[in-house]
Amino acid sequence: MNHYPASILNLIKNFGRLPGIGEKTAERLAMHILRARRVEAEQLAQSIMDLKQNTRLCSKCFALSDKELCKICESPARNQSLLCVVEKPADMAAIEQSGAFTGVYHILQGALSPMDGIGPEDIKIRELIKRVENGNIDEIVIATSTTVEGEATASYISKELERFQLRITRIASGVPVGGDLKYVDQVTLKRAMETRHVI
Closest by CA to 59, choosing from 129, 131, 118, is 131
Name which of 133 and 185 has its Cβ closer to other proteins. Answer: 185
Name which of 18 and 48 has its Cβ closer to other proteins. Answer: 18
Name which of 19 and 99 has its Cβ closer to other proteins. Answer: 19
Distances in Å between the Cα of 55 and the Cα atoms of 49, 64, 67, 89 are 10, 7, 8, 13
How deeply is 153 buried, as exposed, middle or buried, from its count of CB atoms within 10 A (0-12, 13-18, 19+)? buried
User: Least distance to other proteins from the beta carbon of 178, Å?
Assistant: 11
Are 120 and 100 within 8 A, CB to CB?
A: no
User: Least distance to other proteins from the beta carbon of 153, Å?
Assistant: 8
**11-23: b (≥16 Cβ within 10 Å) or e:** bbeebbeeeeeee
Rg (CA), the chain: 22
User: Least distance to other proteins from the beta carbon of 95, Å?
Assistant: 20
Name which of 80 and 113 has its Cβ closer to other proteins. Answer: 113
User: Least distance to other proteins from the beta carbon of 175, Å?
Assistant: 11
User: Least distance to other proteins from the beta carbon of 183, Å?
Assistant: 4
Name which of 2 and 183 has its Cβ closer to other proteins. Answer: 183
Q: Which residues of this chain interact with other proteins, rule CB under 8 A? A: 19-20, 112, 114-117, 119-120, 146-148, 151-156, 159, 179, 183-188, 190
Closest by CA to 83, choosing from 57, 63, 110, is 63
User: Least distance to other proteins from the beta carbon of 18, Å?
Assistant: 11
Name which of 107 and 125 has its Cβ closer to other proteins. Answer: 125
Q: Which residues are registered as beta bridge partners of 64?
A: 57
Cβ neighbours, 10 Å, residue 188: 15
